[in-house]
Every structure is written in structure tokens, then in C-alpha cells.
Amino acid sequence: MLERLQKIISRAGIASRRRAEQLILSGAVTVNGHVVTELGTKADADRDHIAVGPRVVRMDEAGRDRYFAFNKPTRVVSTLNDPEGRPCLGPYVRAHKGRLFPVGRLEFDAAGVLILTSDGELASDLMRAAGALPQTWRFKVKGRIDESVREAIERDAQARVRMYRDGANAWYEGRLRNAPRDLLRQSLQRHGVLLEKMVRAEFAGIELAQLPAGHMRELSAAEVATLRRATQGRAEPVHAPREVRAGAAARRGTFAVRKKRSGAGPAWRGGHARGQRPWSGSRIRGARQKRQGGRAPEGKAR
């Protein structure tokens, strides 16, 4: 099958697609012994002899897409490179032939299953449908969660929450569907639950099982089919309920969403909206005076 050279080189894990274009323009790529410098040139990875400098593009490297379940450790960024120098996925991925990239991301302090693949089409489908796909989280809290709080979290997070392992600091399991990735975490924080650990045990039918942290396993054909079925008919992301988004905004020190009432000032939480100047002391006094019908503050002439 004819494909663009830069796509073949990228799939082989030799370079990114943009870097492959630069290599082609620089004259570093040959096809059947002939130097190719024109972008858009196509070749057949199964039949043509393609080389990048001294390195030959092997047909088994570019011949098929690969799919892995990776157990992301805590305090690792879910990107292949990090400009801030934090631990990232790059060292884990480089041990495998071919170019792999993560499907979505997990929080820096969270651990658990993360899909890695070279199949850009499936990755795109999964990321578009991520909010609607089923996932299971296990989290350790400080102490235990009261029954009334647990029920409130279930309502807010659109999840089924149960105790997973009892103890002085208990583990709980939350099963979500049709809910954004961060909704459970936001709901726990909103109800004052102190999180110690958070692990994603299952995503779109792919389970973490006993896979050690920092290791990956290749998915079976049945598991890849499960991922494809999971994306069918669930392409639209689902947004968090308004009250949960408002609670998160208040914790970040921005304007919170609240019901307006006559004469009320802004829902001030220590910051100001983008494009709005901060509320200085004189501005606040002026607004207060206006609400009082123009009456000057006591002890000062109008």
C-alpha cells in the first residue's frame, strides 16, 4: 500500500512526522537507492527499500499498529517529553520498537492504566469519546467517608462508589460512565475528602490487573476490538455539572458561578476575571455607596 514517506518513517519510530519531513528535504532519505527530497512522495513499506541515512526502515516496524496498556506511576507527566524536566513517558516508550503515544492523560499525582498506541485514528476516537467511556478508579482517603457524604459524591460524580478495602485509611472504588475524567476528584474535594492515593484501575474495558507500575503489556486482538466498540456512538464529551465546576473555580481563586440577586456585587473569591481590572479599595467603596442610594460613608461629606 502506497503511503507518504513521512508517515512510514514516523510509524517506524525513527522520527516524528515533522522531523521526517525535515529529513526528506535535507536529502537524508532514499527509496530504492534514489535520494528523495520532495514532500508528498509515496512509497510501499512492504516492497520498497527505504532508508534514513544508514538506517533501513524495516517493514515489520512500519507494517502494523501496536496497542499497549501502561501502568503509569505517580509523579510522572503523561507526555513523551517535558520541557520542565519532570519524569515523563519517554524513557518507558523508547524501550519498544515503533512510535507510541499516549491516549489522553492522567494527573501528575495519579497512577493507573494509560493506553499507548501508534494508531492515530483510534487514539483520536478514544480522546473524543473519553468523557462517555466507562472507567474505574480506586482511591485511598484519610479516615473513612461517611455514608451521607458517599451518597452525595455518587450524585455529584455520576458514579457508583463503594468501599474497596477497609482500614484506618480506607480504599474506595468509583465506577464512572458518561462523566468527565476529573469529575470524581472534583467531587471528592468539594465534599472535603482528603485523598492520599488515586489509581485508575480500568479504562474503556481495559483493566490494570496485576501490571506493576512502570510496566506495559501488549493488548490482545479482543481488547483492541473492545476499545473500538467503546468509541461507537459515544463521540461527544460530557461536561461536569455546573455546581461542581463552580466549586472548582472557587477553590482556584476565581469568580464562582452563583445565582444573581438584585444589587449583589461580583462573586469574589480572591481573583478577577480575565479582561477585568481588579477591584481596588476605592472601587469597592464606590460600588457600596451606589447600592446605598448615593449616601456618602459616615463621617465624610458628599
DSSP code per residue over the chain: -EEEHHHHHHHTTSS-HHHHHHHHHTT-EEETTEE---TT-EEETTTS-EEETTEE--HHHHSS--EEEEEEPTT-BSSS--TT---BSHHHHTTSSS--EESS---TT-EEEEEEES-HHHHHHHHHTGGGS-EEEEEEESS---HHHHHHHHHHHTEEEEEEE-SSS-EEEEEESSS-TTHHHHHHHHTT--EEEEEEEEETTEE-TTPPTT-EEEPPHHHHHHHHHHHTT--S--PPPHHHHHHHHHHTTSPPP----TT-----SSS--TTS----HHHHHHHHHHHTTTPPPTTS--
Map out the domains of the chain as residue ranges: 2-62, 67-231, 253-291
Task: Compute the mean pLDDT over every residue in the chain, rounded to the nearest whole number.
Answer: 80
The per-residue pLDDT for 130 is: 84
Contact 141, 153 (CB under 8 A): no
Task: Tell me which CATH code domain 67-231 carries.
Answer: 3.30.2350.10
> Among 74-83, 134-143, 155-164, 276-285, which is the least confidently predicted range?
276-285
The per-residue pLDDT for 290 is: 66
pLDDT digits (tens, 9 = 90+) for 128-183: 888 889 999 999 999 999 999 999 999 999 899 999 999 999 999 999 988 776 88
Comparing 2-62 with 67-231, is the CATH topology the same?
A: no
Identity of the residue numbered 70: F
pLDDT digits (tens, 9 = 90+) for 113-137: 999 998 877 888 898 888 889 999 9
Contact 204, 99 (CB under 8 A): no
Confidence of residue 271 (pLDDT cuts 50, 70, 90): very low
Confidence of residue 51 (pLDDT cuts 50, 70, 90): very high
CATH number for 2-62 (one of 2.120.10.30, 3.40.50.720, 3.40.50.20, 3.10.290.10): it is 3.10.290.10
When pLDDT is averaged across residues 30-35 and rounded to a whole number, the result is 94
Residue 246 clears pLDDT 90, i.e. is over it: no
283 or 63, higher pLDDT? 283
Q: What percent of the chain has pLDDT over 70?
A: 74
Most confident range, picked from 12-16, 195-199, 270-274: 195-199
